[in-house]
Amino acid sequence: MLPQTFDWASIRRKRRHAFGAIKATHPDFQYQPIAEPEELGNGGRVRWVSGRPDEAPAYAGTDFIIARDGRIAAVYLFFDKLP
């Protein structure tokens, strides 16, 4: 089970680090969650869109997070169709 003090800000930092190459080619894009984070057992997910401010989103995705011993063990990113 994910800890009650699960740090979603940490997920955002890890995602920014892991996908720095995308950000480097699209420095003005911003990520916006499109649903509340969901948790189930030792996993969770965050659905999001990204694009330039004041424009339609350019792409969408879902981050899946796995926790072990109260810590983030893995983060997986999937690109989704735009909602």
Mean predicted lDDT score pLDDT of the chain: 82
Interval 24-79: pLDDT, tens: 777 888 889 999 999 998 999 999 999 999 999 998 999 999 988 878 888 888 99
Tell me the domains of the chain and their CATH numbers. 8-80 (3.10.450.50)
CA angle (41, 31, 73) in 5-degree steps = 30
Q: Considering the entire predicted model, what is its pTM?
A: 0.69
Higher pLDDT, 76 or 10: 76
Distance CA 16, CA 29 (A): 12
